[in-house]
Amino acid sequence: MEWLNYRHLYYFWTVMREGSVTAAASRLRLAQSTVSSQLMLLEETLGGKLFQKKGRSLQPTDLGRTVFRYTENIFALGQELLDTVHDRPVSGPLRLAAGVVDALPKLVARKLLEPAMGLPEKLRLVCHEGKKEQLLAELAVHGLDIVLTNAPAPAGLPIKAYNHQLGECGVSFFGVHSLAKGLRTGFPGSLTGAPILLPTPFSALRGSLDLWMESLRIKPFIVGEFDDLALLKVFGQAGDGIFAMPSVIEEEVRSQFGVEVIGRTEEVRERFYAVSVERIIKHPAVVAICKTAETALFANRPRPRSRR
């Protein structure tokens, strides 16, 4: 079994928190050369550089940022251990490290995480956004407590990942007033020829929208395709085209972007999941997220009518 030198790790953590080797050495009451040599030994152990020079300052590398996230957890847990064994109140807030898949609309992510923010305990929320594969890898090594996504973790992963479906809803179509007023009548057929902003073809929502429009022989004019749904909504806010978003955030989209609802469909479904490495969720913040989604957020959402 490989072992870490936690003194080296503590020196690195102090450098990150203080912002420089000079400031860290002053706080630790050590010579700068001592701190620098200990950092080099840690880099040898980890097999990579933790910092890179940019001008006169040191900036953490990707490895450095990853290691720092773990050191934050390690030393917070160490303090919690001391508090527990000495019968002291556990210091610090409850911590939730949540991964948010970049394809998930930010407004949906905020709505899903809201119950955790409302817990009686103080919560320190740490959010990481990224590709699903990257976030699931972090989840596997316990760098994250939960991953929020709009598609389940695929089967055949080298880790045990459990999908907890939070809920599902249809989609609403939005546009600025000048576009919306002429498209409400005859919806959804009115979308034929209308300027539309769509996610890129590799997203789950795009695939569902394409199938739905094809089944109804709707042929809009595609103005733009976007990986980033936040950017897509900015273009929609500017009046460049209409766009679709999950109906669960309908009010938030209208309010934040100053757009109007053109129409809705329950035939296109957006599903949301919490992925964890445990079948039975124990983290109180994750329990609150799952319970509220089931009993309140998605409880009364209409289901699509079955076709005959």
Using 50, 70 and 90 to split pLDDT, how confident is the model at 86? low
Residue 157 predicted with pLDDT over 90? no
Q: Which residue has the tokens 């300052």?
A: 57
Buried b / exposed e along 7-25 (16+ C-beta atoms within 10 A) = ebbbbbbbbbeeeebeebb
Give the contacts of 2 (CB within 8 A, at least 6 positions apart): none
Residue 153 predicted with pLDDT over 90? no
- pLDDT of res. 89: 54
Residue 159 predicted with pLDDT over 80? no
Domain 6-85 and domain 93-302 have a common topology: no
- Domain edges within the chain: 6-85, 93-302
- The CATH code that applies to domain 93-302 is 3.40.190.290
Q: Model-level pTM greater than 0.85? A: no
- pLDDT of res. 308: 38
Residue 94 predicted with pLDDT over 90? no
Greater confidence, 304 or 176? 176
Mean pLDDT of 14-36: 90
Mean pLDDT of 84-100: 73
What whole-number distance in Å separates Cα of residue 200 and Cα of residue 206? 7
Using 50, 70 and 90 to split pLDDT, how confident is the model at 306? very low
Does a cis peptide bond (omega within 30 degrees of 0) precede residue 188?
A: yes
Mean pLDDT of 254-278: 94
Residue 305 predicted with pLDDT over 60? no
Residues 288-298 pLDDT 10s: 999 999 888 88
Residue 252 predicted with pLDDT over 50? yes
For domain 6-85, say whether CATH 1.20.1090.10 is its number.
no
Residue 212 predicted with pLDDT over 80? yes
Residue 119 predicted with pLDDT over 90? no
Residue 92 predicted with pLDDT over 70? no
- pLDDT of res. 307: 46
